[in-house]
Amino acid sequence: MLKNILSTSFARIAVAVLGLIITTFNARYLGPEGLGVVRIFTVTVAILMIVANFVGGPHLVYHTPKYGVSALLLRAYLWCALVIAAFMLVGQVPGLSFAFHYWIGLAALFYALGWVHVYLLLGIERIWQQNLVVVSFQVILFVGAMLLYGVWELTSAEYFIYLYVVSAFFMWLLGLLMLLKLAPSNSKISGNEVFKLLIRDGAYVQSGNFFQQINYRIADYLIDAFWGKAAVGVYGVAIQLAEGIWTVARSVALVQYSKLSNLTNDVRSKKITYQMSKGVVLLTFIGFVTLSLLPTSFYTYFFGDEFAQVRAILRWLAPAFTLYSAGFIYSNYFSSNGMFKVNTLTSFIGFLVVLTLGLLIIPSFGINGAVMTISVTYVVSLGCFIYFLRLKPSRADRWLLPGAKDWRWLLYVIKR
């Protein structure tokens, strides 16, 4: 499992580094305004993707060992196609279309199906294959950005949006090839009962993901509405850097989800969860300390003088982001045990907090109000996870707080 964690961490770190370089390119060549346009586009794609993956979301990892790849893949494709078709039709209604509406639909279609492949590969514990699929998207986006800005000198947000769609297409294609090659030949053929099961779990998982995505991104829309896209661009850079520190936490969580979905011992599952949560909090803390110590000139050198505020934003984000890194691990513990309602309820509580605070303080305080809003939301969400974890007492609960064994385990990981 350690090997899988390390390979996944390296893959996600590569994704984060490439994403940071791409953001630097966009900041330099598009400016805060253009960066804000791209940010709103990608956020909207991410939210639509959640609806498109209502059947083919992360719960596929939990169901793949039980029902096989083929039946799940077919039903995920069917649902995704229906959702995107409906979204395209909505674009015909005056006043209901987004900027770049049809490009949003295409990007969400390919990106959502690409992640269906990732979840199925995780379900059969094909870790390095799913890592390759995830990295492919960012690699193509990175190479394309260099060509756009450095060779063809196309410095418009519109061209980057086209590139985003192309990258999503190749991610989908590579994932499909990987899955067709590796899918077990004895996949079980399931009927309508499997589809009903996916709908039921998808209602919990994806509604939870939907609220969680809103928790992550509602501040972008509120800043855009009250302060403009240039402010969204500055805020977006800080958030991307902060979420980049979450790379290790998300990598560990993916491997944990795959591992725990194939375990039946709850005490062992909880113990692994507590061990991993403490490790990712420590590593996240180190990452934020590093970013906070960098001078303002470091950020303005890479992103431009308009982004001088980024360092201060990161310092205010650090405490809540560090604590919430454990939330990824706790969330996947519940998912791996089929307890999707817990994640949905936690996300909904977070949604109520972020919506209330966001509407109250972002119009007046802008970026500072957004930082305060999401910080409170993450702390409340983490508290909910811990509460639900302790509802069912276990002897593994003694692992919740750090102890001597954790430090020995950390030294062991460093040596390995």
Res. 277 pLDDT band, cuts 50 70 90: confident
Amino acid at 308: A
Q: What is the mean pLDDT of residues 391-412?
A: 66
Res. 185 pLDDT band, cuts 50 70 90: very low
For the chain, the structural domain boundaries read: 2-415
Q: What's the confidence (pLDDT) of residue 276?
A: 86
Reading phi first (left if > 0) and then psi (alpha if -120 to 50, else beta), residue 295 is in beta
Q: What's the confidence (pLDDT) of residue 296?
A: 92
Q: What is the mean pLDDT of residues 136-156?
A: 93
Q: What is the mean pLDDT of residues 255-259?
A: 77
Share of the chain above pLDDT 70, in %: 89
Q: Find, among 325, 348, 344, the residue nearest to 335 by Cα.
A: 344
Amino acid at 140: I
- Identify the residue with better confidence: 191 or 409: 409
Q: What's the confidence (pLDDT) of residue 279?
A: 84
Q: What's the confidence (pLDDT) of residue 66?
A: 74
Q: Which of 66-70, 229-233, 310-314, 379-383 has the lowest mean pLDDT?
A: 66-70
Q: What's the confidence (pLDDT) of residue 268?
A: 82
- Identify the residue with better confidence: 396 or 299: 299
Res. 39 pLDDT band, cuts 50 70 90: very high
- Identify the residue with better confidence: 131 or 192: 131
- Identify the residue with better confidence: 316 or 99: 316
The dihedral of CA 173, 175, 181, 185: what is its sign?
Answer: negative
Query: Residue 183 pLDDT more than 60?
Result: no
Angle at 194 between CA 189 and CA 195, to 5 degrees: 115
pLDDT in tens, 207-231: 777 888 888 889 999 999 999 999 9
Q: Which helix (H) or strand (E) holds 64?
A: helix 59-67
Q: What is the mean pLDDT of residues 192-213?
A: 74
pLDDT in tens, 104-121: 999 999 999 999 999 998
What does the mean pLDDT of the chain come to?
85
Q: How far apart are CA 25 and CA 237, in angstroms?
A: 12
Q: How far apart are CA 312 and CA 322, in angstroms?
A: 16
Q: What's the confidence (pLDDT) of residue 186?
A: 44
Q: Find, among 359, 381, 379, 378, the residue nearest to 369 by Cα.
A: 359
Q: What's the confidence (pLDDT) of residue 44?
A: 93
Q: What's the confidence (pLDDT) of residue 394?
A: 67
Share of the chain above pLDDT 90, in %: 47
Q: Which of 20-24, 192-196, 245-249, 382-386 has the lowest mean pLDDT?
A: 192-196
Query: 327: which DSSP letter?
Result: H
Query: Residue 3 pLDDT more than 80?
Result: no
Q: Find, among 228, 190, 250, the residue nearest to 60 by Cα.
A: 190
Q: What's the confidence (pLDDT) of residue 187?
A: 45
Q: Which of 154-163, 247-256, 301-310 has the lowest mean pLDDT?
A: 247-256
